[in-house]
Structure 1
C-alpha cells in the first residue's frame, strides 16, 4: 500500500453525513450507553472521520468527576476504536456478518481535557493494508482544531459464529 495522505475535509455540521446514526448502528453492535460516536462525516478506502458530541448528560460524568466533569481517556480511545471499527467493517462486503474486536493500543498520548459541550472530531487512518483480518490504524482526536489525543490501535475482523 503506497502511503498517500488522505485529505479529510474540516468538519462542517451542515454537510450530509457519510454515515448517520442509523447507518452506524447497522454496522456496529454498540448501543447506549456505550455507543460513543454520533456521525461519520468522511470515509474513503484508508481513512474515516467522525464526531462524538460530548454532553453533560453522559452517564460517566456522574463519577468522573463530580464538580469537575472530564471525559475519561479510555472512553476517548473507545470512541476512536468505534470510528476505526466503521473503517474496518466496511472493508468487507457484508459487515453485518462480522465483529470487529479491539486488540491493542500503542503510543497513546493525551494532550488536553475533553469537557461537556465539546465536539470530539476523530480521524483513523490505516497504517498498512488489512491482512488476515488484522488492521493497524493511527488515530487522532481534536476539539476546535486542537489535538486532544492520538495513538495507534490494532483491531481484528472475525466472522460471526466462527
Structure 2
C-alpha cells in the first residue's frame, strides 16, 4: 500500500466554515455544526450541538424543551447533502431537495445540552435520486433513524421534474 493509498482512506473532516461553503442553509435552519468523518461515496459522521438558545425551544415545549423530530430529520438530510456535495460538482445555484422519507422512527428525545451524532450512509443513486440510511444518536443511543431520498437541482429548474 502506498502513502497516497493510505491518505485516501483517511476520513475527511469539515469545520463550520467549509459547511457554510457547501450548504445554502443559514441560521436558524443550519443544523450541522461539524463533520467528524466523511468518506466520499460511502458515509458521513457529523455533529449537531443542541443548545437551549435554539429558537424552536421557546414553543416546543416551554416547560420541557424537546427538539422537534422534523428538525432531527432535517439535520440528517443536511448531513446527506454534505456527503453528496463532497461527491459531485456544484455551485451556489445548486439546491438539495428532500424527496422522500421511509421508515422514520424516533426512539429517544433530544434535549438542550445534547450532542447529536448524525450518521448517514450512501445506499444508491438511480435516476437523479440519492438514497441514504440515516441515524441520529445521543450518547450512543439511537434518537432517530430513517431512509432518506434526495435530489440535486439547479435553481430555476422545476423541482417536480
TM-score, length-scaled by structure 1:
0.85
CA distance in 1, matches of 2:26, 2:113: 21
Asked if residue 61 in structure 1 is aligned to residue 57 in structure 2, the reply is yes
Question: Which has more radius of gyration?
Answer: 2
Residues 1:46 and 1:95: Cα distance change in structure 2 (over 3 Å): farther
Asked if residue 22 in structure 1 is aligned to residue 20 in structure 2, the reply is no
Alignment match of 2:116 (pick from 79, 98, 120): 120
Q: Check conservation: 1:64, 1:71, Cα contact below 8 A.
A: yes
TM-score, length-scaled by structure 2:
0.85
Give unmatched runs, 5+ long, in structure 1.
1-8, 10-16
Structural mapping, 1:1-162, within 5 Å: 18-44=13-39, 45-128=41-124, 130-162=125-157
Please state whether the residue corresponding to 2:31 is helix, strand or coil: coil
CA distance in 1, matches of 2:143, 2:111: 11
Q: Check conservation: 2:118, 2:134, Cα contact below 8 A.
A: yes
The structure carrying a bigger strand percent of its residues is 2
Q: Check conservation: 2:24, 2:92, Cα contact below 8 A.
A: no
TM-superposed CA distance for 1:34, in Å, is 0.5
The size of the alignment, in residue pairs, is 148
TM-superposed CA distance for 1:132, in Å, is 3.4
Give unmatched runs, 5+ long, in structure 2.
1-10
Moved over 3 A (4+): 94-97
